[in-house]
Chains A and B, each alone.
Chain A
């Protein structure tokens, strides 16, 4: 616990120092620089807090949703990384996990869900069907990959991917968001 606290503090210090790099301070232009400084600093802080509280949307389409539920259960303690507060409304969420095959009749619904989410919003394509159509690529009613409809940030491949793979995908997403500190 104390280690965590110390780590977080170290991360914050490092972030601040990084954002200060390359800045020159002259006494007469201090004010302008200060506003800039706060801007960069707050950006780092916001990113840092954002990546540590990714809230996924409680939304599943097909088979992979079962593994998504398993991800939410007790074996994988996903809360330690800050995700696992499945919200039932898109307005409170940051991440949308597309778990399952996407049919043509689902596209308008998924689009609407995506648009309801507050920016910045991220999409994870979970499973083969959401990535590229999976085994249904020949079917007349299936969209061959959700990336034809929405911008996808991270793909997790498998049929279905293990819950650990979703964990990995979310960690990749954290890296993308930034505010990453190397130990």
Chain B
């Protein structure tokens, strides 16, 4: 049998960004996939070395442009750990609310693109994006920005929540919960969808651990690991967060785990609103920051929608001496070669999409 080499990308409508895949196929079966990355490399880690601490969040947000706030939070968390700043009690709750809203928006993005990746069902894209827009509207209400919020300050947030925010959020979530059930039924009652998703791109538990994947991809393979549970930050412990795990490890499991996570996020937001104490959530104004690094080396991890985000920072006064980012997408991309082996070429982008990669996060 002869092996054909196909070049896909770097500009391809379904690569979710700019990624080049060199695929060896034997007839219709994939023998090997080799991702070539670096088309979006811009040297964030180097740029950050020349910026003051609070000048950096806009750069960090662009790492993961589907869920910018979670990356913002990761970075600010690292700076807080380095400078030894305590987060205000109310700010913890507000952060959890905003981060979970961001997670909802991010997962809706995946749900919208999943039908697209299979080459059918543009309807789902339209529906999911409509809902994503509602959530972006909420976030805009809370932060004043539509996409890049830059809403984290040391110890709290830039903007306090507006008056009607709780009401609006609860209303939106109620509608979303109903519609999410409808969306899941719409997709999963479709025999073609199940056929294309079930048993495709299987990632076994042991392989998942070996490859170091994190986030929903890992949890869909049956590993109980979620930073929110294993190393709880903010108020996730008080809100009784429980991680969602499925055991199949295929495309369908990865899709379902995200939907389950969305229900969990909605529950968390509601619970956070109930338990939220009165008070002030405003962070430290930038001019008041006394840049004395308390800890020279900090490692902070957070559960961002794509997996475990981790920042290693060597802190100098005023700015980071060295900042290293463990990007979840980069490590999840490494699993692609493993799980596409033996799959059909038509399923390649279904598998690629189910990993939910952001290329800016991969290239940094």
Q: Which residues of A contact B (CB under 8 A)?
A: 58-63, 65-67, 69-70, 73-75, 88, 100-101, 103, 105-106, 109-110, 113, 135-136, 138-142, 159-160, 162
Contacts and interface: CB of A to CB of B under 8 A. Distances in A.
B149 to A, nearest CB: 12
B59 interface: yes
A105 B13 CA distance: 18
A66 B125 CA distance: 13
A73 B129 CA distance: 6
A141 B129 contact: no
B62 interface: yes
Nearest to B130: A74
Contact of B40 (A61, A75, A160): A61
A75 B128 CA distance: 11
Contact of A73 (B41, B66, B133, B359): B133
A160 B147 contact: yes
A62 B62 contact: yes
A58 B58 contact: no
A138 B47 CA distance: 8
Contacts of A159: 148
B145 to A, nearest CB: 9
A139 B129 contact: no
Contacts of B126: 73-74
B39 A136 contact: no
A103 B41 contact: yes
Contacts of A141: 41-43
B148 A69 contact: no
A58 B65 contact: no
Contact of B42 (A66, A136, A160): A136
B89 to A, nearest CB: 32
Contacts of B38: 105
Given A59-B11, A73-B130, A159-B148, 12 more contacts: A58-B13, A62-B40, A62-B360, A63-B65, A74-B126, A75-B130, A103-B40, A105-B38, A113-B11, A135-B58, A135-B59, A160-B148
Interface of B: 10-11, 13, 17-18, 38-43, 46-47, 50, 58-59, 62, 65-66, 109, 125-126, 129-130, 132-133, 146-148, 359-360
Contacts of B42: 101, 103, 136, 139, 141-142
B62 A63 contact: yes
A80 to B, nearest CB: 16
B40 A67 contact: no
Contacts of A74: 126, 129-130
B129 A109 contact: no
Nearest to A90: B11
A61 B18 contact: yes
A70 B41 contact: no
A162 B359 CA distance: 21
Q: Interface centre among B38, B41, B50, by most A CB within 10 Å?
A: B41
Q: Which 10 A-B pairs have the closest CB atoms?
A: A73-B129, A63-B65, A88-B13, A74-B126, A139-B42, A58-B13, A136-B42, A139-B43, A75-B133, A74-B130
B70 to A, nearest CB: 14
B129 A69 contact: yes
16 contacts: A60-B17, A61-B18, A61-B40, A62-B65, A62-B359, A63-B148, A66-B109, A70-B132, A73-B133, A74-B129, A74-B130, A75-B133, A109-B39, A110-B11, A139-B47, A160-B148
